[in-house]
Amino acid sequence: MSDARTRLATVAAEWDELRPRLEPAALHTLSLLLAGLREATGEAADRAARHAARLLGEQLPDRFPADGRLTAAPTSSRPDLGHLGFSADDLVVLVLDGHRMVGPVLGEVRERLLAAPSLGEAEAAERGCDPNAPGLIRLRGPGGPVRLPAFQFARDGRVVEVVPEVNLLLEADRDPWGAADWWLSPNAWLAEVPARLLGTVAELQVLTAARFLREGE
């Protein structure tokens, strides 16, 4: 007997190797099952986890030999469920959200960055800002909705003038998570979290720090 969620976590940990082996139709079905896992609770979530794990076993028989009945113990009752620090939720993120902020290190970064104040696209538009304006950091939240870190906007809703230029230096269009982490983490050169300096007399130092970072690469 094996646990369904542990199998999902294992696939997340080995995603780069196993993803190319999944048939397109199976990947589509997996995405539907994982959406059910994300949205459901209780027995419905357990059932979705079992179905997803069974599908992966059928697609990857050499990786998951037939080993009897699958279980799906609730994560809350088994906090140790996972594989190499990956969880079933990480597979949900990989398949449904389409980014790689998963695992024992990047998963924690993802949660921290998504917990920071942010705006949805509709909220940004209501404030008179184009959420698709060039130079803004856009993070994919659970289920795919875009979240725009709130530090990018002034109180009147406009984009802080220095932000797009800094984001360009940080290549935020290519690596929005890395750019958001730079803004929201302590910076040794600035002796402060960069986002906290916006709207202060030290704001231009943020741009200087980003330039130094780019020149040092």
Contacts of 174 (CB under 8 A, 6+ apart): none
Supply the pTM of this predicted model. 0.79
Query: Tell me: the pLDDT tens digits for 108-167?
Result: 999 999 999 999 999 999 988 888 888 999 998 887 789 999 999 998 888 999 999 999
**Model pLDDT for residues 14-29, shown as the tens digit of each residue:** 999 999 999 999 999 9
Q: How many CB atoms lie within 10 A of CB 93?
A: 24
Whether the predicted pLDDT of 1 surpasses 60:
no
Q: What is the pLDDT of residue 49?
A: 94
Q: What's the pLDDT score for residue 127?
A: 87
Segments in the chain forming alpha helices (H): 4-13, 15-18, 24-39, 42-59, 88-92, 103-115, 121-126, 162-169, 176-184, 203-215
DSSP 82: S
* pLDDT for the residue numbered 52: 96
Is the pLDDT at 216 greater than 80, yes or no? Answer: no
Q: How far apart are CA 25 and CA 32, in angstroms?
A: 11
The pLDDT confidence band at residue 80, using thresholds 50, 70 and 90, is: very low
Confidence of residue 40 (pLDDT cuts 50, 70, 90): confident
**Mean of the per-residue pLDDT values of the chain:** 89
Percent of the chain predicted with pLDDT > 90: 71
- At 75 the pLDDT is 46
pLDDT (0 to 100) of residue 69: 61
Residue 12 has pLDDT above 90, yes or no: yes
